[in-house]
């Protein structure tokens, strides 16, 4: 997994509530057995017109925000289906972090597992950030994970919080399964007790 330290790039505001994973990655892109080619599917019905041409009204198709590294999102972003394809696609499109007031639980964990930083800000901080990046001229920000800061282009800064465990794993890009397997003996001890106590589960 690609480690996350400090990333600088454009931030695109996408502030509607409850943007679900069906909208982020529609069904026709879910038929693969690998993770490839999903950048094309991201926000497909919003990004493209029926003709297949890019929809000029969609924020990521506008020059000031095209190639954005960050999305500034409305409440409950990523709700609905568990499909991790949504996060794979966002990452392939170049999105490194999402900044919003709240994220749906499964989506939030999927981001973490893919090295995409999901930052939760309070409403007033998010509105401040959204105001600044809504102007193309000030859409570029820096997200500094080690110091837990978002630097805005007009020089101000927004601090954010994140669980130490999540932060460490994003910074190191470590293999979560490998880390857990170092506890294999503990898992086996647990199983021995668990199935002795609940033999009908074995």
Partner 1 sequence: MNSPRTLYQKHIDSHTVATLDDQGHVLLYIDRQVANEYTSPQAFSGLREAKRGVWRSRATLAVVDHVNPTSPTRIAAMPDAGGALQVAYFEENCRDFGIELFDVLDKRQGIEHVVAPEQGFILPGMVVAAGDSHTTTYGALGAFGFGIGTSEIEHLLATQTLVYKRLKTMRVTVTGTLGMGVTSKDIIMALIEKIGASGATGYAIEFTGPAISALSVEARMTICNMAVEAGARGAFMAPDDKVYGYLKSKPRAPQGEHWNAAEKKWRELFTDEGAVFDSEVRVDVDGLAPMVTWGTSPDQASPVSGRVPDPATIADPILRQGMQRALTYMGLEAGMALSDVPISHAFIGSCTNARIEDLRDVARVVEGRKVASTVRAMIVPGSTQVRAQAEEEGLARIFLEAGFEWRQSGCSMCLAMNDDVLAAGDRCASSTNRNFEGRQGAGARTHLMSPAMVAAAAIRGRLTDVRLLAEEI
Which of these ranges, 60-68, 109-117, 134-142, 151-159, lies near partner 1 under the rule CB under 8 A?
Answer: 109-117
- Residue 2 makes contact with partner 1 by CB under 8 A: no
The reply to whether 131 sits near partner 1 by the rule CB under 8 A is: no
* Residue 80 within binding range of partner 1, rule CB under 8 A: yes
Q: Find the DSSP H helices in the chain.
A: 21-24, 44-47, 85-92, 105-113, 123-133, 164-172, 176-181, 184-197
Q: Among the candidate windows 2-10, 64-72, 135-143, 160-168, which touches partner 1 by CB under 8 A?
A: 160-168
Whole-number Å distance between alpha carbons of 84 and 196? 36
Q: Does 83 bind partner 1 (CB under 8 A)?
A: yes
* Minimum separation from the CB atom of position 10 to partner 1 (A): 21
For residue 89, the tally of other CB atoms under 10 A from its CB is: 24
Q: Helices 105-113 and 85-92 sit at what angle, rounded to 10 degrees?
A: 50
Residues that bind partner 1 (CB under 8 A): 15-18, 20, 22-23, 26-27, 30-35, 45, 74-76, 79-84, 87, 102-107, 109-110, 113-114, 163-165, 176-177, 180-181, 183-184, 186-187, 190-191, 194, 198-201
């Amino acid at each position: 997994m690609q480690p996350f330290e400090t990333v600088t790039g454009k931030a695109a505001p996408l502030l509607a509530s409850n943007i679900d994973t069906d909208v982020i990655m529609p069904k026709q892109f879910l038929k693969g057995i690998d993770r490839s080619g999903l950048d094309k599917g991201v926000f497909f019905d919003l990004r493209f017109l029926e003709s297949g041409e890019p929809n000029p009204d969609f924020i990521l198709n506008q020059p000031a925000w095209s190639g954005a590294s960050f999305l500034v999102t409305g409440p409950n972003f990523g709700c609905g289906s568990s499909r991790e394809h949504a996060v794979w696609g966002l990452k392939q499109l170049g999105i490194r972090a999402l900044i919003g007031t709240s994220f749906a639980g499964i989506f939030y964990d999927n981001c973490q597992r893919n090295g995409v930083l999901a930052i939760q800000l309070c409403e007033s901080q998010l509105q401040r950030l959204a105001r600044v990046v809504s102007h193309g001229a000030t859409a570029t920000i820096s997200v500094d994970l080690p110091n837990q800061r978002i630097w805005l282009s007009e020089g101000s800064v927004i601090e954010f919080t994140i669980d130490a465990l999540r932060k460490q794993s994003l910074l190191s890009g470590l293999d979560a399964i490998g880390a857990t397997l170092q506890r294999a003996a503990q898992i086996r001890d647990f199983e021995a007790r668990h199935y002795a106590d609940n033999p009908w589960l074995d």
